[in-house]
Amino acid sequence: MTYQRWTLRTENTSYTVRLSPDGPWVELDAWGPLGVEDGPSALDWSRRTHFITPADAAPAEYLPYGTRPFTGSELVASGPGGDRGSWWEFDHMEAEETALRFAFRDEQLGLRTVLHYETVPGTDVILRRAEFTATRELRLERLDSAAVNIPITGVARLTYLTGQWSQEFQRTQLDLPRGTFTIGSRQGVPGHAYAPWLAVQDGEAPAAYGIALAWPGNWHMTAEAEPGGSVRVRAGRVPHEGAVLLAPGETLATPQLACAFSPEGLDGLSRVWHRYERHLSGERLHRPRKVLYNSWEATGFDVEAAGQLELAKTAADLGAELFVVDDGWFTGRADDTAGLGDWWPDPAAFPQGFDQFIADVRALGLDFGLWIEPESVSPGSRLHAEHPEWVYRIEGRPGRLVRSQLLLDLGRTDVQDFVIDTLDRLLGTYDIGYLKWDMNRPPTERGRPGAGPVDLDAEHVAGYLRVLDHLRSAHPDVTVEGCAGGGGRIEHTTIARTDVVWPSDNTAPLDRLRIQHGFLHAHAPHVMSSWVTDAPGVFDPRPRSLAFRFVNAMCGVLGIGADLRAWTPEQRAEAADWIARYKEAREVIHHGEARLLGTPEDPSCGVQYDAGHRTVVAALSTGRLDGAPLVPGRPQRLRLRGLEPTARYRDTATGTSYGGAHLLHHGLPFAWNADHDADLVVLLRE
Ligand code: DGJ
């Protein structure tokens, strides 16, 4: 059968859709490497159905409940008191080289829907979203961004990133022969349990398809093994109140769903996402990520000028470039039970004034950064006394505390204005070059008394993005770190508006290695903030050397969070050496192509970064450190990838020169022992 088809082309991939001959919908025809559309569609099917409709079996790109009644739909719409469902007609389509739009209408219901596709320059990502316009009052119970058909022939292998607070981004896999798989969050943020990211492969076949939802609120991703053999993933935001109401004339756009493909497996897919996030960073990608010192783990809430300056002095001596005062700098904040909302430096902690304190930090040659948690408020604070109506609450129901605090309703314009004024005041009054935005509780008892039916989740998201956008435009020189009790709010809208994100509060070496390994599947090294902390840390007592902790943290944006006051002169000298080496290599780490070498389950693993003639390899030993496990033993090897087999590569530290074929086939050798469990190797192509 011949169809009218449209193909969007990215750097290395094609995405081809067609209007279905079977009904009013768009179908996936082909998705894969450039040229994959040249042949009969791998999604063609028998067109014989029994007990279901053709819409239920077709690789439809988006369908409402009604037209697709049984096997999962992206949109559930109804009029006031009317039947649920939409039976829409195709209206028109518009095609450009880099974008497609398909419009459908349901006059009886009063709904127009436009499905948008666009390519992202310089990447292998296609962005999809839907836009609804109501011509009558409408209720949308489900409003997904897209359905993504994955053209597989065998059993789908799903890879996702799961965990909990302090164990985020654990790479997890399952095979889905039949049935439904769902991940998501109702915590008002993407959450620690699942990243809004999914990869699908055809069994053991390397090619990998990925999707990621750009939405910092409630969400879901649902993969369903279809009767015809493919897998269809639906993804979108989840309205907190169960439905979104659209007034006549109103238009609503869903969040963007980014769709990515790589023929080179999950590792290749990670590079597609890295490149996309470099694109999201735009100009700010080229802002050097400074070596940070953050005093949170050293002093906790016990923040006072003299102790902080002592830490800052040592950090500066080691080569740190930025000093960040975390939680505990403001009035009333002796512990986590009080103070949030009253964002004034505590005069008792800074007797010479906060200005003077910052000037003293800066005199050490350090930039200065500050922590804030603008969406939260402590019950005993002045802010809460003045504006008890600003927190989420439900009339007659006591508001529960989480981490002893309440959550502000950032969907309210007056709350947004308060946050903007607070940030403007702090950034305008003090010489602050870096801001860490934290968020440490989800919304419970989420309501806004008297407001009627409001899309609270979407309003909070809009408020959050408005404030972040304001930060960027009003304070363009301030570097912003995104954090939500570790990695609770990491997705593309946040990454597009911050410079770095904090993947987890867990910095214990081997735990962190697993967290970062998962993180780097979805996110780029230049956004991955990582600290060297004291060992044994608060989470994982398994010992690792200082070298291991540095090499691990250098895999992204290096920071230090240890109590430097207790470090010996030898430790300080070693740290200074690592920081100097990192500064030499960070351009390659942040801007190069990253390859994940092995996994933390292997005795050795690492990350390889390539830019121009330089290759940087961060190598880490996860195994026992009490000597070679076999006598006689051999060094372990990390096979590199993507090198020129016929070129030569020289280790800039040792002068050893390797053939490319050797590094690709046998790998770089590492003779690990108790004193040597990690290394950073810089190779120069000769
Ligand atoms: C949670 C963050 O993830 C930590 O890094 C730290 O900033 C604390 N909050 C402070 O309360």
pLDDT in tens, 17-49: 999 999 999 999 999 999 999 999 999 999 999
Q: Cβ distance 645 to 661 under 8 Å? A: yes
DSSP state letter for 228: T
Answer with the residue of higher pLDDT: 373 or 629.
373
Give the mean pLDDT of 1-8. Answer: 84
Give the mean pLDDT of 186-211. Answer: 97
Q: Report the length, in residues, of the chain.
A: 686
Give the mean pLDDT of 634-660. Answer: 97
Closest protein CA for atom 11 of ligand 1: 327
- With a cut of 90, say whether residue 198 has pLDDT above it: yes
pLDDT at site 518? 98
Q: Is 502 in the pocket of ligand 1 (CB under 6 A)?
A: yes
CA of 402 to the centre of ligand 1 (A): 14
pLDDT at site 503? 98
Amino acid letter, 490: I
Q: Is 440 in the pocket of ligand 1 (CB under 6 A)?
A: yes
CA of 336 to the centre of ligand 1 (A): 10
- With a cut of 60, say whether residue 79 has pLDDT above it: yes
pLDDT at site 627? 56
Provide the pLDDT confidence category of residue 540 given band limits of 50, 70 and 90.
confident
pLDDT at site 1? 58
What is the Cα–Cα distance from 369 to 322, expressed in whole angstroms?
A: 7
Amino acid letter, 370: L
What is the Cα–Cα distance from 565 to 485, expressed in whole angstroms?
A: 26
Average pLDDT, the chain: 96
Classified as helix, coil or strand, 164 is coil
Question: What ligand 1 atom has the least distance to the C-alpha of 371?
Answer: 7
Give the mean pLDDT of 126-155. Answer: 96
* pTM strictly above 0.95: yes
Q: Is 297 in the pocket of ligand 1 (CB under 6 A)?
A: no
What is the Cα–Cα distance from 28 to 61, expressed in whole angstroms?
A: 6
Give the mean pLDDT of 373-397. Answer: 98
pLDDT at site 228? 73
Give the mean pLDDT of 122-151. Answer: 97
CA of 319 to the centre of ligand 1 (A): 24
Q: Cβ distance 513 to 600 under 8 Å? A: yes
CA of 294 to the centre of ligand 1 (A): 11
Give the mean pLDDT of 387-398. Answer: 97
Q: Is 59 in the pocket of ligand 1 (CB under 6 A)?
A: no
Ligand 1 pocket test, candidate residues 189, 329, 438, 506, most atoms within 8 A of CB: 438
For residues 143, 145, 149, 155, the Cα torsion angle rounded to the nearest 10 degrees is -80
Provide the pLDDT confidence category of residue 81 given band limits of 50, 70 and 90.
confident
Share of the chain above pLDDT 90, in %: 93
pLDDT at site 270? 98
Closest protein CA for atom 1 of ligand 1: 485
Angle at 589 between CA 506 and CA 371, to 5 degrees: 45
Structure tokens at 290: 């400074």
CA of 374 to the centre of ligand 1 (A): 13
Give the mean pLDDT of 576-584. Answer: 98
Ligand 1 pocket test, candidate residues 327, 481, 500, most atoms within 8 A of CB: 327
Give the mean pLDDT of 381-388. Answer: 98
Q: Is 670 in the pocket of ligand 1 (CB under 6 A)?
A: no
- With a cut of 60, say whether residue 536 has pLDDT above it: yes
Q: Is 530 in the pocket of ligand 1 (CB under 6 A)?
A: no
Span 176-197, pLDDT tens digits: 999 999 999 999 999 999 999 9
pLDDT at site 496? 98
Judge residue 66's burial from the number of C-beta atoms within 10 Å of its C-beta, 0-12 exposed, 13-18 middle, 19 or more buried: buried
- With a cut of 70, say whether residue 341 has pLDDT above it: yes
- With a cut of 90, say whether residue 271 has pLDDT above it: yes
Span 443-462, pLDDT tens digits: 999 999 999 889 999 999 99
Q: Cβ distance 253 to 458 under 8 Å? A: no
Provide the pLDDT confidence category of residue 242 given band limits of 50, 70 and 90.
confident
Closest protein CA for atom 5 of ligand 1: 505
406 forms beta bridges with: 377
Give the mean pLDDT of 539-546. Answer: 85
Write the DSSP assignment of 252-313 as a string of letters: EEPPPEEEEEETTHHHHHHHHHHHHHHHHHGGGGGS--PPEEE-HHHHTT---HHHHHHHHH
Residue tagged 């020189």 (tokens): 477
Ligand 1 pocket test, candidate residues 166, 435, 505, most atoms within 8 A of CB: 505
Give the mean pLDDT of 127-155. Answer: 96
pLDDT at site 624? 76
